[in-house]
Amino acid sequence: MDATGSSRTCTVHNTMKLEETTDLLVRVARLLYTYAHPTDDLVAVVTQLGAALGARVVLGVR
C-alpha cells in the first residue's frame, strides 16, 4: 500500500471486534479529514485499512 491508499489485496490477522475496528477506522478518518488530507486519498486509505482488517467500509465524506 502507498500513501494514496493503493495496495495489493491483503488481510491481516485481526482479533479486534467490529466495534474496535470501527473505532480505529473512525479515528484514522477523523485525523486525515481534520488535517486537510485530500479526500480521494482519505477514502482510499480508510477503505484499504478496513479491508486489511477484514471489514467492508463505505465512507461518505461531505
Map the footprint of another protein across residues 21-50, applying CB under 8 A. Answer: 21-41, 45-46, 48-50
Min separation Cβ 41 and another protein, Å: 7
CB of 13 to another protein, least distance (A): 8
- Cell numbers linked to 31: 485525523
Question: Can you tell me the distance from the alpha carbon of 28 to that of 9, in angstroms, rounded to the nearest whole number?
Answer: 20
User: Contact 33/61 with Cβ under 8 angstroms?
Assistant: yes
Q: Binding residues for another protein, per CB under 8 A? A: 1-4, 6-8, 10, 12-41, 45-46, 48-50, 52-62
